[in-house]
Amino acid sequence: MTTLFDTLREDALARHAACERVLGKRGVLSSEDVHALRVATKHLRASWALLAPLLSEAERSAARGAQRELADAARELSGPRDRDALAETLARLAAEAPKRRDRERLAGAHALLFGERPGKHQRASRTPALRSAFQRDAERWAACTCAISDEQLLREGCGRLYRRARRLAQRARKTGDVEAWHRCRKQTKYLGYNLSLLLGDDDPRSMRSELGALGEQLGELHDLSRLRAHVRRARTELGQPEALRGVVRLVRRHEKALAAACKAGSRASFGSSPKRFAH
């Protein structure tokens, strides 16, 4: 009989097989390759976050080491993809701005900051260190065996992720701090990934759609915050160019509106008490 732990482990090994097909080739990674590897690291880290507290002390230490190594791999991949995400966010704001003047202002900023400059921006490479990091984690999953009941994995594992995400959401709503929302985003996505994998269509509370929507909103909020910071730095570095005048204000306007939506979404997603969620 297949257990939920088996499902978790098989999913991790399947993701690693897909990553090895990408990393086993030669040459520079494409944008699609980088995106696929980054998505894989997020799901793998989410699985370890679910499982680690339920393991023995030695296994827990190894799991935490795996999370750190995967985080390092994600950072190695983040540069090119982060720039693409900022460019896509600014292009979307320009396309969706209701006023022509704002559309032109944002489009001009996009052309200045993210216009094509061949050779200027280095793409991620298939380095031996990056490939080794994924291979070591695949070996950890292949060797991982533990007797955890389905009930324990859901009640204690997912219950712990829910408590953490709920606490971070409460803190973010209270403080409005961007970093608090970012930490909430990571835990919300970890919880959503695991509920989707372990429960699928059997989730009676339909939390997957709520958490998925909230995770997307929090991701967009994070992108807007980083875009605002990027524009501010560029204004200083480029000598306050006319093309960037007023852009920070426009980005901040969208950021405030989205933060309000995140507050409402987090209340809906985490309205149940941890005890009620566990049942």
Does residue 86 lie within any of the structural domains?
A: no
CATH assignment of the domain containing 68: 1.20.120
Write out pLDDT tens, residues 155-179: 999 999 999 999 999 999 999 888 8
Q: Residues 141, 226: one domain?
A: no
The pair of three-digit structure tokens given for residue 63, joined into one six-digit string = 């799991």
Q: Residues 139, 188: one domain?
A: no
**Residue 192 — very low, low, confident or very high, per pLDDT cuts 50/70/90?**
very high
> Does the structure show a pLDDT above 60 at 205?
no
Q: Residues 225, 127: one domain?
A: no
Write out pLDDT tens, residues 1-59: 789 999 999 999 999 999 999 998 887 888 888 889 999 999 999 999 999 888 888 88
Q: Residues 42, 143: one domain?
A: yes
The predicted pLDDT at position 113 comes to 93
**Residue 116 — very low, low, confident or very high, per pLDDT cuts 50/70/90?**
low
Does residue 98 lie within any of the structural domains?
A: no
Cβ(141)–Cβ(9) below 8 Å: yes
Please tell me the distance from the alpha carbon of residue 33 to that of residue 176, in angstroms, as a whole number. 34
Q: Mean of the pLDDT values across residues 109-135?
A: 76
Q: Residues 156, 60: one domain?
A: no
The count of structural domains within the chain is: 2
Q: Mean of the pLDDT values across residues 110-126?
A: 69
Q: Is 271 helix (H, G, I), strand (E, B) or coil?
A: coil
Please tell me the distance from the alpha carbon of residue 269 to that of residue 188, in angstroms, as a whole number. 9
Q: Residues 188, 200: one domain?
A: yes
Q: Residues 141, 34: one domain?
A: yes
Residues with Cβ < 8 Å from 210, sequence gap 6 or more?
Answer: 265, 268, 269
Q: Residues 261, 173: one domain?
A: yes
> Does the structure show a pLDDT above 80 at 206?
no
**Residue 118 — very low, low, confident or very high, per pLDDT cuts 50/70/90?**
very low
Write out pLDDT tens, residues 57-75: 888 888 888 888 888 888 8
**Residue 203 — very low, low, confident or very high, per pLDDT cuts 50/70/90?**
low
Give the structural domain span for 275: 149-279
Write out pLDDT tens, residues 210-251: 888 999 999 999 999 999 999 999 999 988 888 898 999 999
Rounded percentage of the chain residues whose pLDDT exceeds 90: 60
Q: Residues 144, 222: one domain?
A: no
Q: If you write DSSP's letter for every residue of 210-258 in order, what string do you get? A: HHHHHHHHHHHHHHHHHHHHHHHHHHHHTTS-GGGTTHHHHHHHHHHHH
Q: Residues 195, 255: one domain?
A: yes
